[in-house]
Chains A and B, each alone.
Chain A
Amino acid sequence: MSRPPTPKRKGTIWREADGNRTAIYEAETDGLHMLNATALAIWELCDGHTNIEEMVSAISELTGIEIGEARRDLTITLATLEGLGLVGYGDA
């Protein structure tokens, strides 16, 4: 039986640009990225031990949105973060 993916964040918080955005620096790609509050919260959850289903449940419970919608939104955010090199999977 396959287990839900467990994303792990990459990069470090460089500084808060303003109240709603935070700069994340990723050394591997030498990239500096601005994340809004939601993306930052998801990035912070990616500790390599929390799987996607746990994240979906927490988001749904906190916001009141349906599980399916929470999973869709989370998937999009994680895909974006992965594309930026800020999240990885497997042994990171």
Chain B
Amino acid sequence: MGTDLGNPSPHLIVWHQIGTDIDVGLTSLVQRIPTVIVAPDDLLTACVELGCRGFVSSDASANEMVEAIQTVADGGAYVSARLLGSLLRRRVDRRRGSDEALAKLEGLTAREMEVFLLAARGIGREPIAAQLFISSDTVRTHLQRVYRKLDVHTHAELVAFAWQTRQVSAGVEG
């Protein structure tokens, strides 16, 4: 559904989400204007990661809706009370996953880290060997160790691991 906010820009938006497909337009809205999203509970994570300032369950009372709007309008953040535990649990689990991945990275030697970073950027074995002044067979050996230490099994998993641990960023590097 198109959204014409007109002029001037609103100070706050209350978005009533119907269904599970979050409108693409909502993403840009949320980035620009404090937004309270009213949606089913299972959209909590998606909406919070979108950057909304408030999330209210679809079956929330009118009082709770008012409280959410007032809180966000005052510059705060609001989540339906009963969802707070779930949100915290997700944060703990996600952070734990990141910590475990970083611990695996710390197990790499300096040379293995070099090979890992180059491979994660899509550079092939021969160019890696040339860049590091080692043989192609040595690169393969290093890569095997990297795969084992990081517990990845394919190149795609290795790239995903590099993303997760922020060793590489979006875009193509020449």
Contacts and interface: CB of A to CB of B under 8 A. Distances in A.
Contact of B88 (A19, A22, A45): A45
Nearest to A22: B82
B81 interface: yes
A22 B81 CA distance: 10
Given A45-B92, A58-B95, A64-B77, A19 B85 contact: no
Interface residues on A, range: 20 to 34
A38 B95 CA distance: 20
Contacts of A45: 85, 88-89, 92
Interface of B is mostly: helix
Contacts of A42: 85, 88
A57 B89 contact: no
Main secondary structure of the interface of A (DSSP, over half): helix
A38 to B, nearest CB: 7
A29 interface: no
Interface string B77-120: 10001101101110110011000000000000000000000000
Interface residues of B, number: 16
Nearest to A40: B85
Interface in B56-94: 60-61, 63-64, 77, 81-82, 84-85, 87-89, 91-92
A41 B85 contact: yes
B77 A61 contact: no
A19 B95 contact: no
Contacts of B87: 41, 62
A63 B87 CA distance: 11
Nearest to B87: A62
A37 B82 contact: yes
Task: Tell which of A22, A58, A61 has the most Cβ of chain B within 10 Å.
Answer: A58
A54 interface: yes
Nearest to A60: B91
Interface of B: 60-61, 63-64, 77, 81-82, 84-85, 87-89, 91-92, 95-96
17 contacts: A19-B60, A19-B63, A19-B64, A20-B81, A36-B81, A37-B82, A40-B82, A40-B84, A40-B85, A44-B88, A44-B89, A45-B88, A45-B89, A45-B92, A54-B92, A57-B95, A59-B88
Interface of A: 16, 19-20, 22, 36-38, 40-45, 50, 54-55, 57-59, 61-64
